[in-house]
Amino acid sequence: MIELTHIEKRFGDNVVLKDISVTIAEGTVTALVGPSGGGKSTLLRCVNLLEIPTSGAIRLGEERIEFAPNRKTGWDAIQRLRRQTGMVFQNFQLFPHQTAIENVMEGLVTVLKWPKDRARARANELLEKVGMAHKADAWPATLSGGQQQRVAIARALAPSPRVLLCDEPTSALDPELAEEVVEVLNRLAAEGTTMIMATHDLRLASKVADQVLFLDGGLIVESGPPRNIFQTPQRERTKKFISSLNMGNDYEI
């Protein structure tokens, strides 16, 4: 279980997240949607402490950390929580000097100190899962954006994290390549992988997510299943945002 309690995040006088409380069950997919600057990516990055909340508390499995404005969070506590997460970034962030399989192996060998043979076997298994086994020895520069993102997903899954965090996983891709990534994430969801994703791609959210959180101005304005949020939103702010996307009646869940 992932539990965020009264999370606030400030950058100086700018309050980016305001009293965010949400519980996410294991084996579910949660999509964070909303306008740019609404707090989606910041909330996602707070979950694995790439951004340290100003106040509130985070529980991830058995690990719970409380935050306060004048309290420094210990590095050991940060690492214990962060090791339970895997992160997929918008721009892939593969190591250009390593092949696809070496990218997936890197954290297992360097951080977890796995023997190379064991790490290679795990990497091969994951590349197969994301449909990239045939490109195991390819360099990132020779891969399409969709292929690079699938390798990045395999790398994030390598240490068997409790939750996979995806920050705009399809936004850097054209629609055809994005569909490759959507299919991989959909398969992972079907297998019970816990995921939280910040996305502008509402088709991704509708296909993969169990629940949607609509964020604006650092607040959760509305939450619920994708069909409710995208077809029958209750809040005027949500209605305005959905209608601005011109999704119309051809939008299918």
Segment 12-22 shows an average pLDDT of 94
pLDDT score at 251? 40
What residues form DSSP beta bridges with 8? 55
For residue 250, pLDDT over 50 is answered with: no
Mean pLDDT of 232-245: 89
| Torsion angle in degrees (nearest 10) through CA of 144, 43, 85, 96 | 30
Average pLDDT (101-116) is: 95
| 153, pLDDT greater than 60 | yes
Class of domain 1-84+162-252 (CATH, top level): alpha beta
Mean pLDDT score of the chain: 91
Model pLDDT, residue 115: 97
The pLDDT of residue 252 is 39
Q: Quote the CA–CA distance of 156 and 146 in Å, as a whole number.
A: 15
Higher pLDDT, 202 or 120: 120
Q: What is the pLDDT of residue 128?
A: 95
pLDDT digits (tens, 9 = 90+) for 58-68: 999 889 999 99
**Percentage with pLDDT > 70 across the chain:** 97
130: nearest Cα among 102, 156, 99: 156
- Residue ranges per domain, the chain? 1-84+162-252, 91-160
φ/ψ of 99, rounded to 5, equals -70, 175
Gap between the Cα atoms of 242 and 233, Å rounded = 8
Average pLDDT over every residue of 18-25 = 95
Model confidence over 177-216: pLDDT tens digits?
888 899 999 999 999 999 999 998 888 899 899 999 999 9
Q: How far apart are CA 81 and CA 66, in angstroms?
A: 12
pLDDT of residue 104: 97
The answer to which of 25-29, 88-92, 234-238 has the lowest mean pLDDT is 88-92
245-to-80, 146, 177 alpha-carbon distances in Å: 40, 24, 21
